[in-house]
Amino acid sequence: MRLTVTPCNTWPTEIKLHQASNVLEVSFDDGSVFQLPGEYLRVYTPSAEAVGHGPGQETLQIGKEAVSIQHIKPVGNYAIAPVFSDGHDSGIYTFDMLYKLGSEYPILWDNYLNKLKAAGIQRKEPLAN
C-alpha cells in the first residue's frame, strides 16, 4: 500500500528485531519507540512489486498473517530492507517511513483492514508461535 512520507527530522537510535514475537522495535532520538509487527511491515512494503510505479497501481497484499521477519539488512545510512519468510526482500524502508508507520500505526492498520473488507477478503489470525 502506497504511503506519502515526508521528512520527520528524527533518527533511529536503535533497531531491534524480536523474532519470537515477530516485531521490529525502532527507537528514535525524539524518545519515540515503535513496535512494528511483521505482517504490518509486509503489507506496507514500499516495493514496486506491491505499490507499482505510480498512483493506482497498488496491489492489495493478502495472506501475510503468518509472514515473519527473518532478518534486517541495512541500506546505506538511511534505511533498512527486511527479509521476510515469504521470500520478499525488495522493500526499502527509509527511517522516515518507519517513523510514519510507527506514529500512524492505528490509522494505517485500520485502513488496511478496511481495504481487505472492501475487497471481500477475510483476514485470518496468524498461528501462535
Q: Looking at residue 78, what is its pLDDT?
A: 95
Residues 27, 25: Cα–Cα separation, whole Å? 7
Q: Looking at residue 129, what is its pLDDT?
A: 43
Domain boundaries, the chain: 12-116
Q: Looking at residue 124, what is its pLDDT?
A: 84
Residue 36: which of 115, 91, 116 has the closest Cα? 91
DSSP conformational letter for 125: P
Q: Looking at residue 7, what is its pLDDT?
A: 76
* pTM for this entry: 0.89
Q: Looking at residue 46, what is its pLDDT?
A: 84
Q: What is the mean pLDDT, run by run of 10 residues, along the chain of 129 residues?
A: 72 97 98 97 82 67 94 96 95 96 97 95 71
CATH 3.30.300.30 is held by the domain 12-116:
no
